[in-house]
Structure formats: C-alpha cells, structure tokens
Amino acid sequence: MNRRNAIELSLGAAVSALSGAPVVASAKPARVLILGGTGFIGPHFVAALTAHGHSVTLFNRGRSPLRAASNIEQLVGDRNGQVAALKGRDWDAVIDDSGYTPREVRLTATLLESHVAHYIFISSISAYADLKSPGIDENYPLAKLKDPTVEAVTADTYGGLKALCESVVEHSYPRRCAIIRPTFIAGPGDPTDRFTYWPVRVSRGGEMLAPGAPRDPIQFIDVRDLADFVRACVERGISGRYNVCTEPRAITMGMLLDLSNRITGADTEITWAGTRFLEAQRLIGPDSTGRELPIWVSPTGDDAGAALVSCARAVAKGLRFRPLEQTITDTLAWQRQRTVAEQTLRAGLTPQREVELLRLLHQAARRKLS
C-alpha cells in the first residue's frame, strides 16, 4: 500500500483540474501544510483544499513541481534531516502523507509542535496487528515490530512502522491530531493499478478470470472521497482515529465487474475461479505475490477482515462515498490518458497468465464432470 510511488501524470491531472473547478469558500479559510503532496493522493488533497478556499504549502524534495498551480507554495527540503524551510512558519493544519518511519515523523512533528494547531497523519489499515476478523474498528490491536529500530520499509515492516508513526503523532499532538487509516485507495492517478486492473481488463472483452464468487465483498476508498474527508478534518478540527473505506458489504466483486461491463459495453464473459483452484495455482496464499488478484481477498483466508473493516466512526464524522460508477468511469478515462509505457498495468494477471489459468480451470471442470 505504498503511496510514495508517484507519477507525474497523476499530479498534473489532479491539480490542473483546479483551473476550471468552482471555488467554494470555507467558513474559515485555513493555511495548510502538506508534507509530500506530489504523489498519488497529495494532488487530490491540494484540489479539495484549494477548491474550498484554503491556502496550501507543500514541503517535499521538489522533484515533481506543481506546474499547473502557481498559487501553491512549495518549500524544498527532505524529511531525512533537511527541514530548515519549515522553521519559524505557522499553519492551521498539517497533512502528513509521506511519513513512513517514526524518526522522520518525529523530526517534523517536534519541529512543528508549537506552530501547527492540527496534525493529520495518513496511515493505513496495515497498521493493525492482523486483518483476520470482520468488523475491525479503530480500537483493534496494532502491529508491533520485532525490531522497532528498523527503518527499511518492506511488506513485513510497513504496517508496524505506520503504527509507530501514529504513536509519535499522538504523543506530540494529544487531542489535536487525526489518524487516517485507508484501505486500498482507488481512482484517477493510482500508480499501483490495483483497482484500475479490473475495469481495464473488463474493457478488453473476451473470457475473463475472476476470483472467488460474485458475492465476495471488497473495500476501497475513492481518492477524492478520502481527500474530502481529510478536508473536513482540516475545516472542523476533527481528531481521533478513523478507518476510511467503503462500508462493509456495500460493494462486491460481482458488482464491480458487472458495472464495468455495462459502462464499457465490452460484454466480457466472467469465469469465476474458486479458492481451492486459486490456492493450487499460487494466486492466493503464502506463496502468492498478492499482485495478480488485487483488492479481492479470500473470504476464508488470513486477511478476510480486510474486506469487512468498520468505517462507522468516519461515516459519523461525515465520510461520504461517490457512486461506484463514477470511480470506474473516471479511472478508465484517466487510464486512456496515460503514456504508452504506463498502459502496462502494475497489478493483475498478464494476458498470457490468464489464458493459461482459464485453460487449467476448464480442464479441472471437465475432469470433475467425467
């Protein structure tokens, strides 16, 4: 769930939209500092905030300049010690969407402690100790690292590091911080292609392999709904811990694929593969990469709770969801604008792998009938 892998196209697409977007004045315009802001989710934060009359300052390494937003202030530095540009400045709120190690978060959190009224930290549901149980809420136990001094961000350390970062923020900003724990983040600009794979694959037509069963629940959050909730945290000073995702069982795998079929008019034939077959082909389980069947999780696996996370607390504070149709349509439109090199998706089955899996699946079905 690393959101640091930015692509410049997502930055330009989100920010350039500001030029034509109506500005809705907030009751009290805020000065907001974003630590990062030029990856996938950052430009959407910028768009949501500036469209409501807030002023935005970005602090980052300056590698992806905001070409379409001359009204956005940029401070150049590095969280790995080069933070002089932040000294002596005051902001109403800070959004930290680039904090991955407690050392780096502690550096900026301590520096800004008396200069920022509200700290919003973008964490992840990976911060939980496990995702086995349905209905995980914000009080569920957090992940713990065997070695809390480790700084290498890997699949094994990511969640534990996020949990430690949360602790740093809550220690420095008690009662004036918000911890945001998204699930999969979807929508225009997503460089991971985890959501994008499904509507794009449906659009190609033919026979398509799908995991599990149509009724299997999935959860994600449209990046623009995430940005709107974060904006609400800025405007209303919302504090506390919040899981940010679609409501449990509101969306299923079948709904995603059927709606993608209707939107694209592809008339793709969906062939569902059961968990036993998926395990035998190492598409799920300990030997899988987790990239070939993104977003979907086995309802009987160790991570089954990842599709049934409780977002009730965030909904009570104003989290809202745009229609699934809009997320699919806008993601497909963004995909068509990507460069030729980016058209090769980073997640999902390759065409060759899918053909082979369908062949094996049909062979197994014939043996079962004979």
pLDDT in tens, 39-61: 899 999 999 999 999 999 999 98
Using an 8 Å Cβ cutoff, are 229 and 314 in contact?
Answer: yes
Residue 119 belongs to what H/E stretch? strand 116-122
Using an 8 Å Cβ cutoff, are 319 and 225 in contact?
Answer: yes
Q: Which residues of the chain have pLDDT under 50?
A: 1-23, 68
pLDDT of 338:
94
> Mean pLDDT, the chain, as a whole number?
91
CB atoms within 10 A of CB 369: 6
Q: What CATH architecture applies to the domain 8-191+219-250+303-339?
A: 3-Layer(aba) Sandwich (3.40)
pLDDT of 263:
98
Q: What is the pTM (predicted TM-score) of this model?
A: 0.92
Using an 8 Å Cβ cutoff, are 119 and 173 in contact?
Answer: yes
pLDDT of 38:
86
Domains in the chain: boundaries: 8-191+219-250+303-339
Write out pLDDT tens, residues 164-212: 999 999 999 999 999 999 999 999 999 999 999 999 999 999 999 999 9
pLDDT of 66:
63
